Amino acid sequence: MCGIVAYIGERQASPIIMEGLKRLEYRGYDSAGISIYHDKIKTFKKQGKVLELEKIIEGEDLQGTVGFGHTRWATHGPPNDVNAHPHTSNSGDIVLIHNGIIENYASLKAALMDLGYSFTSETDTEVLVNLIEEVQKSRNLTIGEAVRQSLNMVVGAYAIVVIDAKEPDKIIGAKNSSPLVCGVGENELFLASDATPIVKYTDKVIYIKEDEVITLCDDGTYSIVNLENEVTENPIEHIDLKLESIEKAGFEHFMLKEIYQQPITIAESMRGRINAAEGWAKLGGMAEYMNRIKQADRIILTACGTSWHSALIAEYLFEELARIPTEVEYASEFRYRNPIIKTNDFIIALSQSGETADTLAAIKMAKDRGALIYGIVNVVGSSIARETHAGSYIHAGPEIGVASTKAFTSQLTVLSLMAIILGYEKGMISQGYYRQLLTELESIPAKVERILKVDDHIKYIASEIKDANNSLYLGRGYNFPVALEGALKLKEISYIHAEGYPAAEMKHGPIALIDMHMPIVVIATNKRYYDKVVSNIEEVKARKGIIIAVVTEGDTAIKALADFVIEVPTTEDPLSPLLSVIPLQMLAYHIAVMRDCNVDQPRNLAKSVTVE
């Protein structure tokens, strides 16, 4: 996934672009580049973070009120200066930045080479910019038309921005499957991958839809057509994203800030949706389709990564509380395996970014087969959100750290609400249990607050195991997916190999790995099958594994067995992941910091994987 930011208006473009690139760096940081027009196009680009780009443009004359910038997450061609965006056409007149993948770039490249075009990079993007040049020249078109007609020849996912030195009074943007949003200011316009580079200047945005081409003019006007050249209307919407919500607010890393925000963000995901005292809970997105959802023969949850772990927990929730058969699918598998989908299936897509390519494609496939598609998404107006029939935003605010934390617990909060509401609507849970669960759910933010207070103890444990090379995370029932999530957190930010397993599964192989050097994290907060988890811990201890146990406050049995214990408040089993995951987030964070890893931007990762 890459970051795009573009500006056309009355102000100098480069400061706006460079600051915007820094806000987008979480989307990818293999390389960065900028192009500015002033009498001619000037382009600077460099492997590495935006800081590296800043170093090479220092002292350069970057005057100009039209320009764009790009941060890259490499898909075609390794991260280096040559493959960095922007890419320039052979004539030097046209520059382009791109987020996505051109699937048919090889055949297009061959055809262009036959026409005499040469290429310096290994990217699909350089093929696209020269295709646009060829279409423009051979058909004598404006840059806007050349872009539109070229995109009709392209197969793949893209969000692109194009500047042509022959028409410097405009910028052309276009999207298909990758995100692109237009900011509308006073006599100035912006394009960006998301709203973070825009919110400082305007709260008015236009969400560009699939297969649309937008032309931004230097007089502040714009026009949008689809690939068939039909004018389309896109309403101006107002976003309430505040700049301070993007900053670190005094924390060393965005990830730590977002871990500590969870009492607030969990409460935000419930705001206006629950009142235990009055005995009600509601999700607006469900109301319109409630009958169809209640009659669903099956729920299918599809997602990737951490969101897939939320889906696994939701499987336990929906089957236990609502008694609806529930399945969980990796989106990347679901989209291609030609699944049997019926019109009476209820598909739930989980995605923090709302832009994950596999998840978007999976729900498009399911939608085409007649299923009801519901989205549980964080980013308002994102592609997945706009592809669904209905949905519930999780209201976690911008999640900048690549490792997902607050979005995970906010997803779980909404999913818990859905399962409780459905269970009660279908008569599967008593009114008494319904109100008990709502009351317990309302108490979760305060309980998370209590866990955050043992941060120093968790930091000490981290110092004791930070040099491990491998680790196992074990859990049962609702805490099995939590074990997977804890393992993912550790491996993606500390680069320690970690695997999550159902606790009972350990005997079927992984136990062979256990020795005195291996930390074993056991989530043991279950009320149900507590004794089984204790047995699993004893099996680990017999093999001298280092046991870190997450237990319910007051536990004594496991305290006697474990090397380290982290206590969390008690809660109902269905809600236990909301608490048991917090220490695992903190443990992973501290270990990563102690190992001098880049916590917010781990190597090889990006915040949202908008390509396959």
Q: Which is nearer to ligand AGP, 539 or 612 (CB)?
A: 612
CB of 144 to ligand AGP, least distance (A): 32
Q: Which is nearer to ligand AGP, 150 or 585 (CB)?
A: 585
501: number of CA atoms within 13 Å, CB side?
Answer: 18
Is the alpha carbon torsion for 407, 313, 382, 335 positive or negative?
positive
Assess 403 for contact with ligand AGP (CB under 6 A).
Answer: yes
Q: Which two tokens stand for residue 372?
A: 């009801």
What are the Cα distances from residue 439, in Å, to 240, 315, 408? 30, 22, 21
Assess 47 for contact with ligand AGP (CB under 6 A).
Answer: no
Q: What angle do CA 549, 555, 556 make, to 5 degrees?
A: 95
- Residue from 69, 183, 305, 486 touching ligand AGP (CB under 6 A): that is 305
How far apart CA 608 and CA 402 sit, in angstroms, is 8
23: number of CA atoms within 13 Å, CB side?
Answer: 24
Count of residues near ligand AGP by CB under 6 A: 15
How far apart CA 167 and CA 272 sit, in angstroms, is 50
Residue type, 511: I
Q: What is the 3-state secondary structure (H, E, C) of 30-94?
A: CEEEEEEEECEEEEEEEECCHHHHHHHHCCCCCCCCEEEEEEECCCCCCCCCCCCCCEECCCCCE
Host H or E run for residue 181: strand 181-184
- Residue from 307, 410, 479, 571 touching ligand AGP (CB under 6 A): that is 307
CB of 468 to ligand AGP, least distance (A): 20
Assess 329 for contact with ligand AGP (CB under 6 A).
Answer: no
How far apart CA 547 and CA 522 sit, in angstroms, is 7
Assess 608 for contact with ligand AGP (CB under 6 A).
Answer: yes
Assess 265 for contact with ligand AGP (CB under 6 A).
Answer: no
Q: Which is nearer to ligand AGP, 149 or 351 (CB)?
A: 351
- Specify the stretch interacting with ligand AGP by CB under 6 A; choose among 300-308, 417-425, 562-570, 582-590: 300-308
CB of 50 to ligand AGP, least distance (A): 20
Binding mask 484-503 for ligand AGP (x = CB under 6 A): --------x-----------
- Residue from 215, 351, 580, 601 touching ligand AGP (CB under 6 A): that is 351
Catalytic residue, candidates 22, 45, 406, 607: 607
Assess 123 for contact with ligand AGP (CB under 6 A).
Answer: no
At 101 the three-state DSSP class reads: strand
Q: What is the 3-state secondary structure (H, E, C) of 147-168?
A: HHHHHCCCCEEEEEEEEECCCC
Longest dimension (CA), the chain: 80
Q: Which is nearer to ligand AGP, 4 or 558 (CB)?
A: 4
CB of 4 to ligand AGP, least distance (A): 17
How far apart CA 313 and CA 391 sit, in angstroms, is 18
Assess 413 for contact with ligand AGP (CB under 6 A).
Answer: no
Burial 64-83 (b: 16+ CB within 10 A, else e): bbbbbbbbbbbbbbeebebb
The answer to whether 607 is a known catalytic residue is: yes
DSSP-assigned letters across all residues of 306-352: HHHHHHHHHHHHIIIII---EEEEEHHHHTTS-----TTEEEEEEES
Assess 610 for contact with ligand AGP (CB under 6 A).
Answer: no
Q: Which is nearer to ligand AGP, 311 or 565 (CB)?
A: 311
Q: Which is nearer to ligand AGP, 71 or 89 (CB)?
A: 71
Cβ proximity of 136 and 112 under 8 Å: no
Q: Which is nearer to ligand AGP, 86 or 179 (CB)?
A: 179
- Residue from 88, 265, 359, 416 touching ligand AGP (CB under 6 A): that is 359
Using omega within 30 degrees of 0 as the cis cutoff, is the peptide bond preceding 339 cis? no
Assess 585 for contact with ligand AGP (CB under 6 A).
Answer: no
- Specify the stretch interacting with ligand AGP by CB under 6 A; choose among 66-74, 346-354, 439-447, 456-464: 346-354
Site for ligand AGP in 460-479 (CB under 6 A): none
Tell me the pairing of strands 222-226 and 212-217. Answer: antiparallel
Q: Which is nearer to ligand AGP, 88 or 383 (CB)?
A: 383
Q: Which residues, 6+ apart, have CB-to-CB distance to 122 below 8 Å?
A: 76, 77, 78, 82, 83
Assess 356 for contact with ligand AGP (CB under 6 A).
Answer: yes
Tell me which residue of 550, 493, 495 sits closest to 521, measured CA to CA: 550
Q: Which is nearer to ligand AGP, 65 or 608 (CB)?
A: 608
Assess 306 for contact with ligand AGP (CB under 6 A).
Answer: yes
Residue type, 524: A
- Specify the stretch interacting with ligand AGP by CB under 6 A; choose among 285-293, 401-409, 432-440, 459-467: 401-409
- Residue number with the smallest Cβ distance to ligand AGP: 305
Assess 353 for contact with ligand AGP (CB under 6 A).
Answer: yes
Q: Which is nearer to ligand AGP, 43 or 99 (CB)?
A: 99
CB of 384 to ligand AGP, least distance (A): 8
Residue with tokens 């806000």: 23
Catalytic residue, candidates 2, 182, 304, 597: 2
- Specify the stretch interacting with ligand AGP by CB under 6 A; choose among 18-26, 132-140, 181-189, 345-353: 345-353
List residues near ligand AGP by CB under 6 A: 304-307, 351-353, 356, 359, 402-404, 492, 608-609
Query: What positions carry a catalytic annotation?
Result: 2, 607
